[in-house]
A and B are shown apart, each in its own frame.
Chain A
Amino acid sequence: MDAEEQSLLAEALRGTMTETAAGTALDAALGDLGWADLLAEEPAVAVRLVFSLLGETGAHAPVLNDVVLAATGQPLGGTVALPYAGGRVVVWERKDAGSAPDEGGLLDGTLPLRVLGAGDDAEAAAVVTDPAALAAGRRALGWWLVGTGRAMLALARTHALDRVQFGRPIAGFQAVRHRLAETFVALEGAEAALAAAEDELASLLGKAAAGQAALDAARHCQQVLGGIGFTAEHALHRHIRRALVLDGLFGNTRELTREAGAHIRRLGRAPRIAHL
């Protein structure tokens, strides 16, 4: 798919994600746009576009399941038990959750996540362990986290330019500018790491970089947005909740970073992954 086709597809996806209710409706709409074929034929492009746009638009759909299913050669459309931080297991249901972020007992109540607990042992035992599926899931989550980070940066940037204190936009203050610059740098770095993520180690690193960038974005953007970013009326908190929850899927930033460290320590050498 050339750059122009990708750009057209991105616009179509963005429109669909903005206009369709998140969850099952968007799941169906993505199906109508040819998600299954796209994932089969151009997985790298499909995953980058769909998941980064889910982040940017703040939408969601249970398509992470499809990425894992496709990676293990199973038919799309179902659900899979997914590993979560702290050794937990969750299922991303293909049904709708609450509409408010603070509903349902989870940090992001809009996501139809079911936490497996006592009595779900059989279901939890089927948790994804296939390396290729873990890598595919991590790449998808990485792009989603970067998209979420971009959404937060856009909100903070707009606020910095609009908000006037001491007689000038706060974007004129270096302390504010540097936080936004730092956010941008982290997101750009994470994108480069994700674009180079083909094998398992690179996918793990890509998600760790993206998780770190999204967490950095949350911290800096919340600070730049000041009081308004702490209210429920402003959109920022939705993205922060999303970033924190997504970070935990398939290992959080802290766990993945430690795993990468343990891996290269055992290996005795730091693999060079991107080549000229």
Chain B
Amino acid sequence: MTATDLVPAGFTPPVDAETVSVEDYRAAVQRWLDEHAAELAKPAEHSLEAEVAQLGKVRRALFDAGWMRYGWPVAAGGLGGPDVLRAVLNEEIAERDLTDGTNFSIVEVLAPTMVSYARPELAAEMLPLLLSGREQWCQGFSEPGSGSDLASLSTRATRRDDGSWVVNGQKVWTSLAQYAQRCVLLTRTAPGHAGITAFFVDMDSPGITVRPLRTMHGIDEFCEVFFDDVVIPADRMLGNEGDGWRLAMDLLPYERSTCFWHRITYLFTRLDMLLAEAAKQETEPEAATDAAIGAAYLALHTVRCRSRDTQRRLAAGAHLGPETSVDKILLSTADQKLFDTAREVLPGTIELTDAHWRTEYLYSRAATIYGGTAEIQRNIVARRMLDLGKE
């Protein structure tokens, strides 16, 4: 396959990637989503299977229409154009509540890795499979012994005489691994940060066992993944030996721009839902209700403003670094504050009657844990932004 084959012959992109304005792009996406609202609507069923199928369906429709290709390089099956186009698409998907609140934007932390670190032929072959929803991919980073201290990971990759690699170890908190066809895997090939090496692994390789974790929010999307003598061809290495840590750090700008924007937008839709439910209540709201709603709105508005600034800096060519820990802290705090407010404003709902609010409330408890704990983020701010020296 060559790069020119990646976009089918005769396909006319709906807008010009390089010249379209954010406003025009948004308007065009909105028009298209409005026209296709019925076919894209979320199914009534709320199982994880249904959610994953919906993710695939939405991505595929967006890919076939071209939208899912904007902001990705032409050489990897994209249509080019700036990153902000992806953020706009994520926002519009979230505003319409077409997918769940996090997994749609998982592409944002998987695809850039392929673009930057995979051999160009591998990226060109694989990326369209992800973007088009034909495949799910997962990210094998965390391990039972390596959570906050990711660099201590111990899943070992050993080179064999024929150049291929054998992997042994265990990953955990691997989202959607039970549905994934591929995994971006961090392994240990030598001591230290420079001894971490990344691979692109087929999940149907012999020796991989996936076991979903039961979590408190009731959606078993996180998995344990076991690797027993799993053989990986040499040409599936991402970057070079020892590039794994840099690869993991390079995801930060994507996680902390488009992914965050997606989650922020999603949380705004939940605040809207909360307002709608509050309006249905028979008793006149107390002043405390308005105070709680106002505080949740203030927190969400604040992180939205911050994230907008961050994305503008990124678009202007700035290198994103430790200052994005501020975005992460603001977002996780706002996330929990919103669902705490829902529990306050809708007394008894989460505990007794409504499984959706319950699930989302419980999931929000993880917001200060996943993606780098709130404590790790504060350590980064203290060390890097406030220059307080070592602990």
Q: Are B306 and A189 in contact (CB under 8 A)?
A: yes
Q: Are B309 and A195 in contact (CB under 8 A)?
A: yes
Chain A proximity mask over B63-86: 1 for CB below 8 Å, otherwise 0: 000000000000000000000100
Query: What are 22 contact pairs spanning A and B, CB under 8 A?
Result: A172-B391, A173-B391, A177-B386, A181-B378, A181-B382, A184-B381, A184-B385, A185-B329, A190-B302, A192-B302, A192-B305, A192-B306, A193-B306, A205-B297, A208-B294, A261-B292, A262-B294, A264-B294, A265-B289, A265-B293, A270-B271, A276-B261
**CA distance in complex: A111, B55 (Å):** 59
| Total contacting residues, chain B, CB less than 8 A | 52
Question: Which of B290, B305, B326 is A196 in contact with, Cβ under 8 Å?
Answer: B305
A264 to B, closest residue via Cβ: B297
Stretch at the interface among A51-59, A95-103, A252-260: A252-260
Closest beta carbon of chain B to A196's beta carbon, Å: 4
B interface residue numbers (CB < 8 A to A): 22, 84, 87-88, 91, 261, 265, 268, 271-272, 275-276, 278-279, 285, 287, 289-295, 297-298, 300-306, 308-309, 311, 323, 326, 329-330, 375, 377-379, 381-383, 385-386, 388-391
Q: Are A270 and B289 in contact (CB under 8 A)?
A: no
Question: Which of A172, A184, A258, A274 is B305 in contact with, Cβ under 8 Å?
Answer: A274
Q: Are A257 and B294 in contact (CB under 8 A)?
A: yes
**CA distance in complex: A260, B271 (Å):** 13
Q: Are A205 and B388 in contact (CB under 8 A)?
A: no
Given A157-B386, A184-B385; A261-B289 close (CB under 8 Å): yes
Chain B at the A interface: SS class? helix
Q: Are B294 and A189 in contact (CB under 8 A)?
A: no
A interface residue numbers (CB < 8 A to B): 157, 160-161, 169, 171-174, 177-178, 180-182, 184-185, 188-190, 192-193, 195-196, 202, 205, 208-209, 212, 254, 256-262, 264-265, 267-270, 272-276
Question: Which of A157, A160, A190, A265 is B279 in contact with, Cβ under 8 Å?
Answer: A265
Q: Are A265 and B285 in contact (CB under 8 A)?
A: yes
**Total cross-chain contacts (CB, 8 A):** 151
B389 contact set on A, CB distance < 8 A: 161, 169, 171-172
Q: Are A209 and B302 in contact (CB under 8 A)?
A: yes
Q: Are A261 and B87 in contact (CB under 8 A)?
A: no
Given A270-B272, A270-B275; A185-B91 close (CB under 8 Å): no
**CA distance in complex: A123, B102 (Å):** 55
Closest beta carbon of chain A to B244's beta carbon, Å: 28
Closest 4 CB pairs of A and B: A261-B294, A261-B290, A261-B293, A177-B382
Q: Are B391 and A177 in contact (CB under 8 A)?
A: yes
Q: Known A-B contacts: A177-B388, A184-B385, A269-B272. Give 14 more (CB < 8 A).
A: A157-B386, A174-B379, A177-B382, A181-B329, A185-B326, A188-B326, A202-B301, A260-B297, A261-B289, A261-B294, A262-B294, A265-B293, A270-B297, A276-B22
B295 contact set on A, CB distance < 8 A: 257, 261
Q: Are A275 and B297 in contact (CB under 8 A)?
A: no
A275 contact set on B, CB distance < 8 A: 308
